[in-house]
Amino acid sequence: MVLSMQHVYIHELMSVSVKSVPADASLDEVVRMMHEHVYSCMVITDDSRPVGIITERDMVKVLSELLVMCPTRTFYVADFMSSPPVCINEDATLYEALVITQARNIRHLPVVNARDELVGVLSYADMTRAHFNAIEKQRDIIEHHIRERTRELSEANEELKALSLQDGLLGIGNRRSMEVDVQFTHINAVRYKRPYALALLDIDYFKYYNDHYGHQAGDEALKAVVKVVQKSVRSSDRLYRYGGEELLLLLPETPLQEAVTVCERATEQLFKEGLPHSKSPYAAVTCSTGITAMVGGCEGDWESMVAEADKWLYQAKEQGRNRVCSGLAALEKHT
C-alpha cells in the first residue's frame, strides 16, 4: 500500500530537541543562542506550555526598531552578513538544493549562473512546495501503475526512492545525498579558497560481528555507532552512510589538525562505550578512520579527496584498527 501525505503524522516529522526559554529571558540571551546554535526560532514557554515564539522575522523587526532609535549611526551590511554565501547554480536540481539546505540548516540560497552572477534566490518554502508536488505526482503515478502494469510500477517506485535524502536504517544522509553535499562543499571550498575535511569511518571486524551475533544485531550495532559518533562530533559536521558499515563524515571549514582532533574524540568515545564484540581483539565495537583535508584551495575533484581518505583508512586498518590515520604528521614535518 502506498502512503499519502495523510498517512504521515506530525510526530514522525517534528524535531524533539526543541529549544525554549521562559518569557523573562533576556533578548541578548535569545539572540546569542539563536546565533551560536543556528536556530531559526525559539519557543517561549510558561511551565512547559508554549505562550509565544521568537523567529528570524521578529529579529528583523527588532533590528528595524534599533535603526529608528539610532538615526545618526550608520550600520553596514558587511558587518552582519554571512560570508562567504552558500550559493547554488541555476542548473542544479531540486534534490541538490534540498540536500544543501538540510545539511547546512539554511533557508535561502542565492542562485548564480555559470559566471557566478546572481540571477535569483531560492527559499525553503519554494523547495518544500516543489518537493511536495513531486512526491504527490509520483504517488499518483504509482497508484495508476498498480492498476495498470507491475513493471511500470516498479520503475516508478524506484524513482520515488530516489527522492529520499536519508538512509532508511540509520536515519543519516544516504550515499546519493552525500555525493551531492561533498561535491557542493568541494566546489565552494575551491571557489572561496576555504578549508574542509572529510573522514571515512569503518567499523572494525564487522563481518565477524554479523557472523557471530546475526545481521539484525549488526543493524542495531550500526545504529549505536552512528549515535555515538553524532554525539562526539560538532553540530556543523555532517554524517553520511557511505556503504555497508562505512560512514563518511564531512567537516566544513575545518583544517586537517582540527579534523583529526574531532575524529580521535569520536573513536575514543566509541571504544569507551564498550559495545560488546567478542570476535574483536578489543572485545568492543571500534572503528578505524582515515582523514584528508583540502589545503590551499587545491582544485582537484572531490572523488580524489574521498580516495585519499580511503588510503588513510587502509593504513589505520594495517596499523591495528581502532585508530585515526591522516597526513598530519607529514604536514607538521613540513611546516
**Interatomic CA distance for residues 255 and 179, integer angstroms:** 20
Residues 57, 87 within the same domain = no
Q: Look up the domain containing 306 and give its range.
A: 193-333
Residue 171 counted as domain residue: no
Whether residues 90 and 71 fall in one domain: no
pLDDT value at residue 333: 44
Same domain, 221 and 288: yes
Name the β-bridge partners of 64: none
Does residue 245 carry a catalytic annotation?
yes
Task: Please check whether residue 19 is in contact with residue 27, taking contact to mean a CB–CB distance below 8 angstroms.
Answer: no
| 269 within a domain of the structure (yes/no) | yes
* Residue 242 shares a structural domain with residue 269: yes
Do 148 and 263 share a structural domain?
Answer: no
Number of domains composing the chain = 3
User: Mean pLDDT, to the nearest integer, of 60-74?
Assistant: 77
Q: In this predicted model, which residue has the larger pLDDT, 165 or 8?
A: 165
CA distance 274 to 317: 20
The verdict on residue 111 lying in a domain is yes
- Rounded to whole angstroms, the Cα distance separating 23 from 185 reads 39
For residue 312, the Cα-to-chain-centroid distance in whole angstroms is 23
293 is a domain residue:
yes
Q: Which of 96, 179, 245, 308 is catalytic?
A: 245
| pLDDT tier at 156, thresholds 50, 70, 90 | low
What Å distances lie between residue 132 and 129, 157, 163, 262, 280, CA to CA?
5, 16, 11, 37, 46
pLDDT of residue 152: 67
267 and 319 co-located in one domain? yes
Measured between alpha carbons, how far is 86 from 125 in angstroms, rounded to an integer?
Answer: 17
Residue at 122 is within a domain: yes
Amino acid at 191: R
For the stretch 282-295, pLDDT in tens is 999 999 999 999 87
- CATH number of the domain that 300 lies in? 3.30.70.270
**Do 297 and 236 share a structural domain?**
yes
316 band by pLDDT with thresholds 50, 70 and 90 = very high
Domain boundary among 79, 99, 132: 79
* Cβ neighbours for 11, distance < 8 A, ≥ 6 positions apart: none
- Last-in-domain residue among 37, 57, 79: 79
Rg (CA), the chain: 23
**176 occurs within a structural domain:** no
Question: Which position has the grid cell 495498470?
Answer: 148
What does the DSSP 8-state code read for residue 74? P
